[in-house]
Amino acid sequence: MKPLISKHFKSRLPSVIRQAQITFSKRKDKSKIKVINVAIGNVSLPIHPKMFKCMSELGTHHFSDGVLKYTPSVGLQETRDAFINIISADIGFSADNLNCLITDGGSQAMEIMLLGVCGPSSKRKILLLDPAYTNYIEIGKRLNIPIITSERLLKDDGTFEEFNLSSIENYIKLEKPSALLLIPYDNPTGQLLKRNDLIKLAKLCVKYNLWLVSDEAYRGLSFKNYSSSSSLWSLTEKEVIGITGRRISIESSSKVWNACGLRIGALVTDNYKFHGKAVSEYTANLCANSIGQKIFGVLAKENVKDLKIWIESQRDYYKRIMIDLRLDLLKYMPGLIVTFPEASIYLIIDFRNITEKNFSAIDFVTFCAKKGEVYVDGDYYTLLMAPMERFYKNPNKGKTQLRLAMVESVDMIKKIPKVLSSLFSSYLV
């Protein structure tokens, strides 16, 4: 007789964004296959030069005595200042009134936020716009918190439906959530939340006494010329009376700053009481890792002009490669639905118009990872992607859709249309 595994553990599946990678790792012939892995937002660009310099000098300047202690649970002051400095640079005004808790990555900030606005095993709900980043749904399951969603459908022209304000208001009245979660620079859709829509949604939060939570991991990566920011930190009391004290953002070093492996994130709020209780909750985790905090903390002293230059360089890079990839995908696979790059680092593709109704994106991803190989430019390739099905709360949605992350080298990304079309043809045989 062996000890029992919990019911929760028995039900768990690997994250849909890592499933392809796990499957490929079990291949016996993997050494001969070149992998284009666009399943996960694992950015492969260099980190900011000041961060790199700090990383190179860690043993000399910060830990020369070989001692590596805990930091305060709230995080090092310079790391907190770094996030506040970045928000100020992004938004264009002082963010000194904001409260910042440093966490081990944005995902842990998500968990602390959900504990704060809903509570574990609570009837209190959080409302997301569907499809949404899978971690919110998965962490919700872990904490037994009800996740409810308002659907956006992908249209044949590659755009997602704009949300219906009256429909969302009716949904709020019916479901009575504690918070509305937005991803304005959206993962997974790549959609950019318009400022006017942000204001309307913020007013709903005030009207029905909801927390307004914004995942701002991709803030700065917007490719459409809207006149103002889509960040919740750009909202003013003049625009939305009563918005102060109900705002929470999820921040990350992973994306715009290209430091996925640092695992440094932050939970930022303009509600001092919420912040204090978040720190109390986080004391059970002791603290975020001290080395990562030191590396990211150098951005606290970076001037606004230089931060803006860095953000613009990242924005220009992603915009260029995403537009080019979209055009090439449509060229190689006519009839394929490909989303327009508005924000973040993702494109969604939909096969529904070029395949049978029973086509399964999950099955296709599994095929590519398990045995897919195509000969292109003198080498064998396969492609790892993320099925969209589990980005939707409704299990019947997204069955023909995949998400592509712009995280490989430019040369590799240029090969995607040819590799994808060949793998698709092989799969259909």
**So what's the pLDDT on residue 161?**
87
Name the β-bridge partners of 266.
102, 251
The total number of residues shown for the chain amounts to 429
What is the pTM assigned to this prediction?
Answer: 0.93
Name the β-bridge partners of 265.
103, 252
Instruction: Tell me how far apart the alpha carbons of residues 181 and 214 are, in angstroms, rounded to a whole number.
Output: 6
| Mean pLDDT (whole number) for 367-384 | 94
Q: Within its chain, how far is the Cα of 184 from the centroid?
A: 10
The answer to whether 185 touches 154, Cβ cutoff 8 Å, is no
Over 80: is that where the pLDDT of 63 sits? no
| Mean pLDDT (whole number) for 412-427 | 96
Q: Among 52-66, 101-115, 250-264, 345-359, whose mean pLDDT is lowest?
A: 52-66
Over 60: is that where the pLDDT of 56 sits? yes
Over 70: is that where the pLDDT of 221 sits? yes
Instruction: Tell me how far apart the alpha carbons of residues 32 and 373 are, in angstroms, rounded to a whole number.
Output: 10
- Report the CATH fold assignment for 14-41+307-428: Aspartate Aminotransferase, domain 1 (3.90.1150)
**So what's the pLDDT on residue 9?**
86
Q: What is the three-class DSSP state of 13?
A: coil
Instruction: Tell me how far apart the alpha carbons of residues 302 and 285 are, in angstroms, rounded to a whole number.
Output: 29
> What integer best gives the mean pLDDT of the chain?
92
- Report the CATH fold assignment for 49-302: Aspartate Aminotransferase; domain 2 (3.40.640)
Cα-only R_g, the chain: 22
**So what's the pLDDT on residue 226?**
59
Q: Within its chain, how far is the Cα of 205 from the centroid?
A: 22
Over 90: is that where the pLDDT of 333 sits? yes
Q: What is the pLDDT of residues 225-270, one digit of tens each?
A: 654 589 999 999 999 999 999 999 999 999 999 999 999 999 999 9
Instruction: Tell me how far apart the alpha carbons of residues 256 and 345 are, in angstroms, rounded to a whole number.
Output: 10
**So what's the pLDDT on residue 4?**
87
Beta-strand runs (E) in 49-195: 99-103, 126-130, 147-151, 179-182
Q: What is the pLDDT of residues 136-191, one digit of tens each?
A: 988 998 999 999 988 888 999 999 988 888 889 999 999 999 999 999 999 999 99
Instruction: Tell me how far apart the alpha carbons of residues 352 and 199 are, in angstroms, rounded to a whole number.
Output: 34
Instruction: Give yes or no on whether 14-41+307-428 and 49-302 have one common fold.
Output: no
Q: Among 52-66, 115-129, 228-242, 355-369, whose mean pLDDT is lowest?
A: 52-66
Over 60: is that where the pLDDT of 3 sits? yes
Residue 260: both structure tokens together:
């996925």
Instruction: Tell me how far apart the alpha carbons of residues 339 and 191 are, in angstroms, rounded to a whole number.
Output: 9
**Between these two residues, 9 and 215, which has the higher pLDDT value?**
215
Contacts of 242 (CB under 8 A, 6+ apart): 206
| Identity of the amino acid at 419 | V
Over 80: is that where the pLDDT of 38 sits? yes
Q: What is the pLDDT of residues 193-217, one digit of tens each?
A: 999 999 999 999 999 999 999 999 9
Confidence of residue 357 (pLDDT cuts 50, 70, 90): confident
Question: What phi, psi does 330 have (nearest 5°)?
Answer: -65, -30
| Mean pLDDT (whole number) for 334-343 | 95
Task: Name the residue ranges covered by the structural domains of the chain.
Answer: 14-41+307-428, 49-302
Instruction: Tell me how far apart the alpha carbons of residues 62 and 74 are, in angstroms, rounded to a whole number.
Output: 19
